[in-house]
Amino acid sequence: MLKYSPDLLSSWRSMNPLLDFSGLPRYADFRPEYVTPAIDQLLEENRALVARLVADTAAPTWDSFVQPFEDASERLSRAWGQVSHLHSVLDSPELREVYNANLPKITQYYAELGQHEGLFARYQALAAASEFPGLSAPRRKIVDNELRDFRLGGAELPEALKPRFMAIQEELAQHSAKFEENLLDATNAWSKFIDNEAELAGLPEDARTMFAEMAAAEEKTGWKLNLQAPSFLPVMQFCENRALREEMYRAYTTRASEFGPENLDNTDLIARIVALRFEAARLLGFDSYAQVSLEPKMAETPEQVVAFLTQLAQRAKPYGERDMAELRAFAAKELNLPDLQAWDVAYASEKLREVRYAYSENEVKQYFQEPKVLAGLFRVIETLYGLEIRPDAAPVWHEDVGFYALHDKAGNLVGQFYLDLHARDTKRGGAWMDDAITRRRTPEGLQTPVAYLNCNNSRGVGGKPALLTHDDVITLFHEFGHGLHHLLTRVEDLGVSGISGVEWDAVELPSQFMENFCWEWDVVRHMTAHVDTGAQMPKALFDKLLAAKNFQAGMQTLRQIEFSLFDMRLHQTPGQNALALLNQVRSEYAVVVPPAYNRFPNNFSHIFAGGYAAGYYSYKWAEVLSADAYSLFEEEAAGYVGGVLNPEVGHRFWSEILAQGGSRPALESFKAFRGREPAIDALLRHNGMA
- 479 annotated active-site: yes
CA atoms within 13 A on the CB side of 266: 33
- Taking alpha carbons only, the member of 527, 423, 407, 418 closest to residue 483 is 418
Cα gap 293→27, rounded to integer Å: 34
Cα gap 34→48, rounded to integer Å: 22
For helices 162-189 and 267-283, what crossing angle results, to 10°? Answer: 160
Residue 189 burial by CB count (10 A; 0-12/13-18/19+): exposed, middle or buried? Answer: middle
- Pick the catalytic residue: 180, 479, 492, 520? 479
Looking only at the bridges linking them, the beta strands covering 450-457 and 413-422 are: parallel
Looking only at the bridges linking them, the beta strands covering 450-457 and 432-437 are: antiparallel
In contact, 620 and 564? CB cutoff 8 Å = yes
What is the distance, to the nearest Å, from the Cα of residue 61 to the centroid of all Cα atoms in its chain? 36
**Residues paired with residue 223 on neighbouring β-strands, in sequence order:** 194
b/e per residue 245-280 (b: at least 16 CB within 10 A): bebbbebbbbbbbeebeeebbbbebbeebbebbbbb
b/e per residue 151-187 (b: at least 16 CB within 10 A): bbbbbebeeeebeebbebbbebbebbbbbbbbbbbbb
Four-residue CA torsion sign, 142, 143, 148, 150: positive
Helices (H), 358-434: 361-365, 370-385
Long-range contacts of 407-411 (CB under 8 A, 24+ apart): none
In contact, 416 and 389? CB cutoff 8 Å = no
Beta strands in 487-559 (DSSP E): none
Residues with active-site annotation: 479
